Amino acid sequence: KAGVTQTPRYLIKTRGQQVTLSCSPISGHRSVSWYQQTPGQGLQFLFEYFSETQRNKGNFPGRFSGRQFSNSRSEMNVSTLELGDSALYLCASSSRLAGTNNEQFFGPGTRLTVL
Amino acid sequence: QQQVKQSPQSLIVQKGGISIINCAYENTAFDYFPWYQQFPGKGPALLIAIRPDVSEKKEGRFTISFNKSAKQFSLHIMDSQPGDSATYFCAARGHTGTASKLTFGTGTRLQVTL
C-alpha cells in the first residue's frame, strides 16, 4: 500500500507570493490533516478535512486555507507569503477522523522556504 | 498557548543506556497520548500510545509511563541503539465539540552514541 505522498518536496518562494501544496492520502483514507513544523514551535495543527469538509481548524491566519477533493486528495494554499511561513508542511491521513484512536500516517512533508 | 511541554530539547545517550523524555500537559480533558518518532527527511511515525486510565504501556524496548495526577507522561527507551537516533514528539488529544485534534510537544532530538 502506497504511503502518503506530498508534492512538491521542496519549494522556494518570495514574500508576497502564494503557494499551493498537495497531499495524496493512503488509498481508502478519507481524513487529511495538515501541520506546520518549525524548529521553535514543533508541529502546529493547521486544519483537518474529512469527506471534503473542513472539520477542524488550528490557530492560523486566514492566509492559510485548504480543500479536499472527492478522491480525498487535499491541497493547502498560503497567500501573501511571509518570511515566518518558512517551514516543513506535513500532511497526515487516517481512515477516520483524526484525533480518534485511529493512527495518523504522515507524509514526508514539503519544505517551503520564503525569501 | 503551548499546552504540551516537552523536555529535554536534546538528549545524548550511550548505546545500551536508557533514554527518558518527559512531557507535561495542562488540559485535564486530554484523553489520548501518543509518541511519534521522526527521522531526518521523513514524516513522524506513531511509536506507542497510551490512554489516561493506564499507568504504563510497554512495547518492546519502548515504555510510556503516565501519571494522571501530576499531568505528566514520559517515554523510556531501554537499551538505546544508534538506530533510535531521531526526534521524538509527544502529543495529546483534545476535543472541541465533536472535533478533536492532536497537540504536539516541541520535540526532543535524541542521539545515541557508540
pLDDT, tens digit, 9 for 90 and up, residues B54-78: 999 999 999 999 999 999 999 999 9
Which tens digit of pLDDT belongs to each residue from A48-65? 998 899 988 999 999 999
Of B95, B99, B104, the CB nearest to A43: B104
Question: Looking at the predicted structure, is the pLDDT value of residue A67 above 50?
Answer: yes
- Pull the grid cell for residue B91: 502529543
> Which residue in A has a C-alpha nearest to residue B48's C-alpha?
A103
Cα–Cα distance measured from residue B109 to residue B8, given in angstroms and rounded to the nearest whole number: 8
Of B91, B101, B107, the CB nearest to A48: B101
B61: which residues sit within 8 A by CB, 6+ positions away?
B77, B78, B79, B80
The reply to whether residue B95 touches residue A99, judged by beta carbons under 8 angstroms, is yes
Residue appearing with cell numbers 501530576: B70
The reply to whether residue B46 touches residue A104, judged by beta carbons under 8 angstroms, is yes
Cα–Cα distance measured from residue A85 to residue A100, given in angstroms and rounded to the nearest whole number: 29
CA angle A89, A93, A98 (to 5 degrees): 100
- Pull the grid cell for residue A57: 481548524
CA distances from B66 to B9, B52, B61, B106 (A): 20, 7, 16, 19
Chain A residues with CB within 8 Å of chain B CB: 4, 33, 35, 40-45, 48, 55-56, 58, 90, 92, 97-101, 103-109
> Which residue in A has a C-alpha nearest to residue B41's C-alpha?
A108
The reply to whether residue A56 touches residue B32, judged by beta carbons under 8 angstroms, is no
Residue B102, min C-alpha distance to chain A (Å) = 6
Which tens digit of pLDDT belongs to each residue from B23-45? 999 988 888 899 999 999 889 99
Question: Looking at the predicted structure, is the pLDDT value of residue B2 above 70?
Answer: no
Three-state SS at B52: coil
- Would you state the pLDDT for residue A72? 94
Question: Dihedral sign, CA of A91, B99, A104, B21?
Answer: positive
Amino acid identity, position A91: C
The reply to whether residue B99 touches residue A99, judged by beta carbons under 8 angstroms, is yes
Cα–Cα distance measured from residue B49 to residue B35, given in angstroms and rounded to the nearest whole number: 6
User: Where residue A102 falls among pLDDT bands split at 50, 70, 90?
Assistant: low
Which tens digit of pLDDT belongs to each residue from A27-54? 999 989 999 999 878 899 999 998 899 9
> Which residue in B has a C-alpha nearest to residue A32's C-alpha?
B101
* More confidently predicted of B102 and A110: A110
B98: which residues sit within 8 A by CB, 6+ positions away?
none
- Would you state the pLDDT for residue A103? 77
User: Where residue B1 falls among pLDDT bands split at 50, 70, 90?
Assistant: very low
